[in-house]
Structure 1
Amino acid sequence: MNDLKHQYENNVNIMGYFRQINNINSNSLASILYSYDLQAGSYRKDYYNKTLYYMHQNGKKIIISSKKFHGQYGSKIADIFNKLKYSSILEVGVGEATTLNDVVKNLNNKSAEIKGIDISFSRIGYGNMFLKEQGIDNVSLGVADMFKLPFEDNSFDIVYTSHCIEPNTDRAKEAINELYRVTNKWLILIEPAFDLGNEETRKHMIENAYCKDLINFINDMKLNVIQHKLFELGTYNNQAAITIIEKESKDQSSANWCCPTCKKELIESDENYFCKECSLIFPIIKGIPCLNINSAILGSKYLLL
């Protein structure tokens, strides 16, 4: 870890460093975790930054401050949600909640149940801090693996991502399957688009080993794609498409935290979550549910102690 901290402090791309030392052309889950965990705090700091950045609006380069960009970006996502019927929302890859914050502020349904998950504990910690600063108190964040989400099937009316699938070079289809499993009505993906982005975007995606075939996987899976187009606002050299997928499900489940292994609802006891089915204890640290399989402790007699 000390070596990775040193590399990060010297502005080395951590996922690129992993690819180099392992002589591979894809990003491992470990490289993604370490990369984002080391970055924790930078997104919250950048939100308040008055520095101007090159972004795009409908493909054209613009210059805009980070805070103004996030405000407009979250508002545009919320506008899409507000055209749909929803009572629950999940953001997968929520990071420090800098996108979710402005989405929530612009939602028409103020009573919607809203959750967010991220693989990085540190980022979720900063996310909770950021939401508190912003006066948002109706959101629950937890640590989880996007490939083993701690929710039942059909748990959320809207499941969405914002640049979450992108680093998972070879696992896009697996990610879509899991995201689609937990949505009840709508899966909305805002992810870099090799097919629709500019030349800088395609170059950026190749250099960073981002997933380039997302829409092809979706089409191969024969999902009901309602819309696939360039999202109107975003990073100039990492332009994203918005892909809206409709799912018709008759059986909606609760949006409560569940065991990521068996998908049974968890028991909260002594500031931990316990899965009676799997006999696994999932810790709650600093108020953050840690629902990654690797965080679990076997304790078959937990409730008897």
Structure 2
Amino acid sequence: MKTLNLDAIRAAYDRGENITELLRDKDASYNSIEVIEVAYDLQAGTYVNGLLKDKSVFEKRAGEIGEILASHVSSLDTFLDCGAGELTTLSGVSHYLPVNIKMFAFDLSISRLNAGLRFASRAMRYDLFNSLVSFSASMDNVPLHDNSIDVVFTNHAIEPNYGRELPILKELLRVSRKKMLLFEPSFEDNSEEGQSRMKKLGYVRNLPKWIEMAGGELVDKFPLNCVANKLNPTYCYVVEKKDVSSSFELSEVNFRCPLSNAELKDRGSYLWSKEGAHAYPKINNISLLRSKDAILMFHE
């Protein structure tokens, strides 16, 4: 990633420049995780502000996605929103989900989660917001145990990760127990103009192929009617595991160290693993669970 000071990045953003293109290394065909993090953290709050300006479009899209989710999510399920951003979509679809489920949400950007939690406190169904567990993490290193989440959900979160489709899908499949519902763009079904745009922005391609290679079975794929940008059409990919080795018994979902995979204990203001010898801090009760957030700590 190019080295830029924060003032230069903010100035470029204020000028309306595309931050991912600005920070992407010369001749690179994909966005690094660092580029994605900077670009999305910088624009924190814009999704909520845009939603509030046009609630009807938000409600229509949330309704369409919510009804699809409702046909796949059951009472007592665990539900994980990967790349949840400002929790706008999760807040909207929460009103369509069954009772007695446990929701988790993570994103690369702590700023977006902060903005999202403020919004969700007003927009999300109260019972689900009250028990929501939010944390910062990367989609290619989710700090949860194997087969711990019944339904894994994304909404244009895999989108900017061209070149990393396979490791991301493998990781999401690893933590999923029943299925994944991916609401992502389809390069193959896009127009020529749309495909050119997706290439320019470093968006994912050939998701069905990568799903198969990751160990998933694509059981359904269909377009959404409510699309924010016709050059970026949303498709729902319904994915199940080919090999489900775990039982479907209810179990507690615990975090694990992204470095050692050892189980983390919640100490209130931080999470810690004695075996892994690392602690992970919290900001506004959001656990920071990326490997770069690890603090060496052998003893409490």
TM-score scaled by length of structure 2: 0.89
Is 2:86 the counterpart of 1:90? no
> Post-superposition shift, 1:264?
3.3
- Gapped regions of structure 1 (runs ≥ 5): 51-66
- Counterparts of 1:225-240 in structure 2, within 5 Å, are 225-234=218-227, 235-240=229-234
Q: Paired residue for 1:122? A: 111
Q: Paired residue for 2:279? A: 281
The aligned length equals: 284
Divergent runs of 4+, >6 A? none
Cα distance change on mapping 1:161 and 1:206 into 2, 3 Å: same
Once residues 68 and 256 of structure 1 are traced to their aligned partners in structure 2, the CA distance between those partners, rounded to angstroms, is: 37
Is residue 81–residue 106 contact of structure 2 (8 Å, CA) maintained in 1? yes
Q: Secondary structure of 2:114's match?
A: helix
> Post-superposition shift, 1:115?
0.7
Once residues 129 and 270 of structure 1 are traced to their aligned partners in structure 2, the CA distance between those partners, rounded to angstroms, is: 21
From 161, 164, 168, the equivalent of 1:175 is 168
Q: Which amino acid aligns with 1:5?
A: R
- Counterparts of 1:1-305 in structure 2, within 5 Å, are 1-19=6-24, 22-50=26-54, 67-86=55-74, 87-107=77-97, 109-134=98-123, 136=126, 137=129, 138-221=131-214, 223-234=216-227, 235-247=229-241, 248-252=244-248, 254-301=252-299, 303=300
Q: Which amino acid aligns with 2:119?
A: F
Deviates more, 1:97-106 or 1:137-146: 137-146
TM-score scaled by length of structure 1: 0.88
Is residue 200–residue 238 contact of structure 1 (8 Å, CA) maintained in 2? no
Q: Secondary structure of 1:233's match?
A: coil
Once residues 214 and 80 of structure 2 are traced to their aligned partners in structure 1, the CA distance between those partners, rounded to angstroms, is: 22
Q: Paired residue for 1:61? A: none
Is residue 166–residue 213 contact of structure 2 (8 Å, CA) maintained in 1? no
Q: Paired residue for 2:3? A: none
- Gapped regions of structure 2 (runs ≥ 5): 1-5
Residues 267-293 of structure 1, C-alpha deviation per residue, up to 9 Å, x if partnerless?
A: 122511102221111001111111111
**Which fold has the larger relative contact order, with Cα–Cα distance below 8 Å and residues 6 or more apart in sequence?**
1
Residues 109-167 of structure 1, C-alpha deviation per residue, up to 9 Å, x if partnerless?
A: 12100011000010011111111122542322111111110100011110011111111
Cα distance change on mapping 1:184 and 1:239 into 2, 3 Å: same
Is residue 117–residue 142 contact of structure 1 (8 Å, CA) maintained in 2? yes
Is residue 154–residue 183 contact of structure 1 (8 Å, CA) maintained in 2? yes
Identity %: 29
Q: Which amino acid aligns with 1:74?
A: A
CA RMSD in angstroms comes to 1.7
Once residues 268 and 276 of structure 2 are traced to their aligned partners in structure 1, the CA distance between those partners, rounded to angstroms, is: 18
Is residue 94–residue 118 contact of structure 1 (8 Å, CA) maintained in 2? yes
Is residue 157–residue 186 contact of structure 1 (8 Å, CA) maintained in 2? yes
> Post-superposition shift, 1:106?
1.3
Is residue 170–residue 214 contact of structure 2 (8 Å, CA) maintained in 1? no
Q: Secondary structure of 2:231's match?
A: coil
Once residues 143 and 108 of structure 2 are traced to their aligned partners in structure 1, the CA distance between those partners, rounded to angstroms, is: 12
Q: Which amino acid aligns with 1:244?
A: V
Once residues 207 and 22 of structure 1 are traced to their aligned partners in structure 2, the CA distance between those partners, rounded to angstroms, is: 13
